[in-house]
C-alpha cells in the first residue's frame, strides 16, 4: 500500500498526558499537512511542511502542540498536557505540488479521546 499511513489509529489518554502521532506520507510527496476534524465540522488546517521545513502554523495550534518532519520524510505531531478539548480526529495529508495544483491525499486519521 503506497498511500498515506497514520499511527496509531486510535488513542485514549487521560487529561494532562502527552501523546504523539506519526504520519508517513506518499514517498515522493514534498508537502505534508496536519488537519484536525471535530464532530460535525470539516477538517481544519493546523500546519504544513515543505520537505523538512515547517512553513506555517495555524492559530489553532497552541504552544502545547509541536510537529516535526525530520529529513523530510515521516512527521510527528505531539500534544503536551492534553485537554478534553483536544479530542478530535487528527488527519495527515501529503501532496506533490506541480503547476500550482494541490490535490492532497489523506491518511485514515488518528482519533484522540482525552478523558
Partner 1 sequence: DQQVKQNSPSLSVQEGRISILNCDYTNSMFDYFLWYKKYPAEGPTFLISISSIKDKNEDGRFTVFLNKSAKHLSLHIVPSQPGDSAVYFCAASARGGSNYKLTFGKGTLLTVNP
In this structure, are residues 91 and 43 in contact, taking their beta carbons and an 8 Å threshold?
Answer: yes
Binding flag, residue 98, partner 1 (CB under 8 A): no
Site for partner 1 in 17-46 (CB under 8 A): 31, 33, 35, 40-45
**Please, what sign has the CA dihedral across residues 97, 102, 105, 110?**
positive
**Which of these segments, 14-22, 59-67, 72-80, 94-102, binds partner 1 (CB under 8 A)?**
94-102
- Residue 25 near residue 4, CB atoms below 8 Å: yes
Cβ atoms of residues 76 and 20 within 8 Å: yes
Question: What is the size of the binding site for partner 1 (CB under 8 A)?
Answer: 29
* Binding of residue 56 to partner 1 (CB under 8 A): yes
Asked whether 35 and 43 are in contact (CB, 8 A), the reply is yes
In whole angstroms, the minimum distance from the beta carbon of 106 to partner 1 comes to 4
Q: Which is nearer to partner 1, 5 or 13 (CB)?
A: 5
Instruction: Assess 60 for contact with partner 1 (CB under 8 A).
Output: no
Cβ-in-10-Å burial (0-12, 13-18, 19+) of 100 comes to exposed
Residues that bind partner 1 (CB under 8 A): 4, 6, 31, 33, 35, 40-45, 48, 55-56, 91, 93, 95, 97, 100-109, 111
Amino acid at each position: 500500500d503506497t498511500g498515506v499511513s497514520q499511527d496509531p489509529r486510535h488513542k485514549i489518554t487521560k487529561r494532562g498526558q502527552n501523546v504523539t502521532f506519526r504520519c508517513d506520507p506518499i514517498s515522493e510527496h514534498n508537502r505534508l499537512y496536519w488537519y484536525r476534524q471535530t464532530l460535525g465540522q470539516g477538517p481544519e488546517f493546523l500546519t504544513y511542511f515543505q520537505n523538512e521545513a515547517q512553513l506555517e502554523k495555524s492559530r489553532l495550534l497552541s504552544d502545547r502542540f509541536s510537529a516535526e518532519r525530520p529529513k523530510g520524510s515521516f512527521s510527528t505531531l505531539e500534544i503536551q498536557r492534553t485537554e478534553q478539548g483536544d479530542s478530535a480526529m487528527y488527519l495527515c495529508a501529503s501532496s506533490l505540488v506541480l503547476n500550482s495544483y494541490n490535490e492532497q491525499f489523506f491518511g485514515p486519521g488518528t482519533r484522540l479521546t482525552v478523558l
